[in-house]
Amino acid sequence: MENFVYAASEQGLSREEIRAALLQSLEGRTLRHALIIPPDFTRFHSNAGYITNVYYHALCEMGCEVDILPALGTHVPVTQEEAAVMFGDIPYEKFIPHNWRSDVMRLGEVPAEFLEEITEGLWHESVDVEINRLVMDEKYDIIISPGQVVPHEVIGMANHSKNLFVGVGGSDMINKSHMVGAVYGMERMMGKDHTPVRRIFDYGMEHFLKDRPILFVLTVCTAPGGNIRTHGLFIGDTRKVLEAAITLAQEKNIDFVDTGIKKCVVYLTPDEFKSTWLGNKSVYRTRMAIADGGELLVLAPGIERFGEDATVDQLIRKYGYRGRVHTLEQFEKAENEDLRSNMGAAAHLIHGSSDDRFTITYAVKSISRAEIEGVGFQSADYDEMARRYDPEKLQYGYNTLPDGEEIYFIPNPALGLWINREKF
């Protein structure tokens, strides 16, 4: 099946157009049991919430029993309040939480020889392919995987098989794929297809999931002023839907600046960003645009912790965001088994550091400045910074303050990638 809908206008697809395309993708099918695997609340601007709602009601009207398994990865489960905001009137009991440590089954492995080849000899271990047991349950006539294709620090461009192997995958795949990305170098991958991490997931799809009835429903979105615009909707069961979406996302979600940014101010909405694990998208997505010796100020009123779970939170507090070399040195020490057994956390620590190329300052409200500084960031008073750099008044892009200071403002880093054209 290759079923594409594409909108070229800046306004994007209307809800009616999206609904028509989704219903078209169900035509001619006889379905009794369906599994939908949408992203969680941290991908609110994917428009997957509306898409999931349309599919849920359409399938129920067909007499189909529907289960919903949010692609949490290592994130905390979707709350009832978040589910209502993102997914509408779907009953909360329909949402099944995924536990990446215990809810998975092993399908096989991506061999070490393949990893060595695709990483240019930088990685030498095999990767276990694990996935939530429900994905392999033969009762499901269709498995619908909606989500947004957007630049991503670990894989290059998010979604498609990542939604499965990370979103509802197991610890070995999550940890090692993140570490492979960190070792290979995120600047070599962000915004691109066919990266080493993408090729790991492609291998998993080809060897272990090719016979499962998976329907990918991929969006390309922007969200000016917080309003979701779905510029493209790509529906199908092959890799071609990903490739078509990547082409559009590279156009819509990568912003080039003409020269390195000296001071970048990023605002993290409090309902979406509650941890630095998520908030460090402000680092990942801007690092290719910030000048050497520049500054990144992160206005983060909702940040209340570092990790998404207690184990990772403790690791971040212990080891900190102290650069690639330092983290790899700590990772290689035999006594640091806690870090060695949590490669995803180690990779995150590498990703979240600027390697002293520019400063990173977090301005928060719910945890202390001492805690922020304890993990290697600089800190600032949130209220003071928000008065000077008011996110309600700043415009996206370059702004000149009354005293002449020039900054570059980004209201949501999760929706794009910023690159200095001089160094691309």
- What's 54's domain CATH number? 3.40.50.11440
User: Do 285 and 309 sit in the same domain of this protein?
Assistant: yes
CATH number of the domain encompassing residue 399: 3.90.226.30
Assess whether 60 and 76 both reside in one domain: yes
In a shared domain, residues 241 and 306: no
The residue that leads in pLDDT, 278 or 2, is 278
According to the model, what pLDDT value does residue 41 have? 85
- Model pLDDT, residue 261: 98
CA angle 305, 46, 65 (to 5 degrees): 100
Last residue of a domain, one of 252, 267, 291: 252
For the chain, give the percent of residues with pLDDT over 90.
Answer: 86
Average pLDDT over residues 67-79: 90
| Per-residue b or e along 52-88, where b marks 16 or more CB atoms closer than 10 Å to that residue's CB | bbbbbebbeeeebebbbbbbbbbbbbbeeebbeebbe
The answer on 221 and 352 residing in a single domain is: no
d(Cα 141, Cα 38) in Å, to the nearest integer? 17
Reply yes or no on whether the pLDDT at 8 is more than 80.
Answer: no
Write the pLDDT tens digit of every residue in 175-194: 999 999 999 988 899 999 99
Number of domains in the chain: 2
Which domain, by its residues, includes 233? 2-252
Global pTM value:
0.86
If asked whether residues 198 and 336 sit together in one domain, one would say: no
Last residue of a domain, one of 219, 252, 285: 252
Last residue of a domain, one of 193, 221, 252: 252
User: Nearest-CA neighbor of 286 among 413, 400, 380?
Assistant: 413
Please tell me whether residues 82 and 68 are part of one structural domain.
yes
pLDDT, the chain, mean: 93
